[in-house]
Amino acid sequence: MHDTTVLLIEVGALLFGLGLLGRLSRRIGLSPIPLYLLAGLAFGHGGLVPLSASEEFFAIGAEIGVILLLVMLGLEYTASELIGNLRSNAPAGLLDGLLNALPGAALALLLGWGWVAALVLAGITWVSSSGVIAKVLADLGRLGNRETPVILSILVIEDLAMALYLPLLTAVLAGVGLMGGAQTMAIAVGTVGVVLMVAIRYGHAISAFISVKDPEALLLGVLGLTLFVAGVAAQLKVSAAVGAFLVGIALSGPVAHHATELLSPLRDLFAAVFFVFFGLATNPEDMPPVLLPALGLAVVTMATKIITGYVAAKRAGIAVPGRLRAGLGLMPRGEFSIVIAGLAVATPGIEPQLAPLATAYVLITVVSGPMLARLPDFAWFKGLILRRSRARRRPQPLPTTD
């Protein structure tokens, strides 16, 4: 059978199946992300029916999915709001790095994998998945919540930190030394600075250049600009996700509003493709030997993410339910963790169990994270928080003297 025909059959059948899974997930009150991932595992390498002809299609679609998720997040906020949130949440970003990178590094050293593997695993456990979290926030209707800017600020700090971490890690893995790593890092920092300055100073001019009167022209213009900037950012060793997010920040007013409406269906389509591809690229047979350490690492670092979000939301003056929503919402790891593991796997001499450990770890957090993020919406959980708050506010009896 012709390759194009097989491609159409595989893509069509899988997308139709995803539609059924999405409908099922909403009936049972669950985010569709875990079901998309399980579908990818079922049809990926080592799965029930491997899909070979459509793998390249899903790889490209997955890249577009992450970019659309991030540009949609950026459209929710202005450049001034971004700068204000980054300034106010810089201490939380530092706490985030310390709490979540150290467990990964410690596990690698305990397993005897060496300091290079420790540097790799620290990055894998540090960075939350912007793509997964953006999808969860949209699914749960929390984009307008008070804690969402706090979550967004931490994600942006992490993504910007990746602009420093990834060039440094690449230099270490390639053995080019500190000078080569510093040069690559300087290019990345300069690129982020220039794009952010353009977004702040000339955002209104960019928005005025794009017409909102013609929906077709608006869709093509915003989508083309986003993909172009994301590609340039990736070429300059900066995350494509960061570039897409900054495009969303640069657009404002009616352009941002109409672009959100037009891009939403595309975001949902390609976001589903991203999660499926993640499962397609995973061989379930490689994970059982490292499942126990991955599970332990996931439990520890999911707890540290809860602490990170709780502290950051508390600093912003948000009540206890919002603090818990912030912490629980930060737990999933995803695209950056897989990118980091991929860089390490391609380097000779790196511990071979690192890749399956990272995959199992990410799958645990990305499946359980969206489910646990729903906890604050349940009545019994709200009642528990209310009872604890009342108990804390209850006046304590004065000490008695004999």
- Domains observed in the chain: 7-377 (1.20.1530.20)
pLDDT value at 90 more than 90: no
pLDDT band at 305 (very low <50, low <70, confident <90, very high): very high
pLDDT at 123: 92
**DSSP string for 84-151:** HHHHHTHHHHHHHHHHHHHHHHHHHHHTT--HHHHHHHHHHHH---HHHHHHHHHHTT-TTSTTHHHH
pLDDT band at 163 (very low <50, low <70, confident <90, very high): low
- Least Cα distance to 195 among 149, 241, 154 occurs for 241
Find the mean pLDDT for residues 111-131.
Answer: 88
Helix (H) or strand (E) holding 180: helix 177-209
The Cβ of residue 245 has, within 10 Å, a number of other Cβ atoms equal to: 34
The Cβ of residue 102 has, within 10 Å, a number of other Cβ atoms equal to: 17
Half-sphere exposure of 374 (CA within 13 A, CB side): 16
Distances (CA, A) of 58 to 20, 54, 63, 106, 232: 19, 6, 9, 35, 21
First to last CA, the chain: 94
pLDDT at 395: 60
* Tens digits of residue pLDDT in 235-268: 776 667 777 877 887 787 778 788 888 888 888 8
Taking a C-beta distance cutoff of 8 angstroms, is the pair 305, 369 a contact?
Answer: no
* Tens digits of residue pLDDT in 107-116: 999 999 888 8
Structure tokens at 163: 């602009």
* Tens digits of residue pLDDT in 276-286: 877 777 677 77
pLDDT value at 396 more than 60: no
pLDDT value at 178 more than 60: no
pLDDT value at 88 more than 70: yes
